Every structure is written in C-alpha cells, then in structure tokens.
Amino acid sequence: LAKTTQPISMDSYEGQEVNITCSHNNIATNDYITWYQQFPSQGPRFIIQGYKTKVTNEVASLFIPADRKSSTLSLPRVSLSDTAVYYCLVGDSSNNNDMRFGAGTRLTVKP
C-alpha cells in the first residue's frame, strides 16, 4: 500500500495562500493522488484529484512534479471556513483494497 506523509498541522491567516505537501515516495504507476477535506463532526469530502502535472478546480489546485513522489495542495486566499483536516490519499482505483487515509494535516486559519 502506498504510504503518504503529511505535516501534522499548519497555521495560516485569512487571505493567504496555503500549500500542503504530501510525500508518497513509493507511488505506483497506476496510482492517483486524491485530497479530501474534513470539518469537525462531518465525514471527509473530496476536494481534488490528479495523476500528473497540475489540476485546478473551483476549490483548489494540485501540483504534481514529474517524478510524482510528492504532491502539493494549494488553497488560494483561505478564509476561516477553510479550517479543517486535509487528507492526501494515493492508490490504485482498480484495487478496492488499496486506498488508505492517514492522520491528515490540521489546518487552522486565523483572523
């Protein structure tokens, strides 16, 4: 199973750009990289997913270097409501038993 490493916590201020990096040194050829966001007392929800280079949606951007051994979730101009735990997952969707959540990164946005 691909293992991921993320910082345990990060602090930021409103309006700043936040970058959370995830290391996945043993990523396999078929693996995708997926990020989830979880607010207190709620289940995680999907934010963004990518395989290589850059992916952008209305919520975030995901940067993946050529070697794919890491990825960076970028949240532009965060607000207090972005305070949450962010999880990076790496896995092969063709193998149902392949995806695992780690401990995640707890992002705290301050006024």
- List the structure tokens of 53: 């280079």
Q: Which of residues 73-92 bind another protein (CB under 8 A)?
A: 87
Find the binder of another protein among 12, 23, 59, 102 (CB under 8 A): 102
Non-local CB neighbours of 109 within 8 Å, separated by 6+ positions: 11, 12, 13, 14, 18, 78, 79, 80, 81, 82, 83
Residue whose CB is less far from another protein, 9 or 15: 9
Q: Which of residues 13-72 bind another protein (CB under 8 A)?
A: 32, 34, 36, 41-46, 49, 51
10 binds another protein (CB under 8 A): no
Span interacting with another protein, options 19-27, 54-62, 73-81, 100-108, rule CB under 8 A: 100-108
CB atoms within 10 A of CB 16: 14
- List the structure tokens of 21: 């990096």
C-alpha closest to that of 52 among 37, 40, 67:
67
Binding site for another protein (CB under 8 A): 32, 34, 36, 41-46, 49, 51, 87, 93-94, 96-97, 99-104
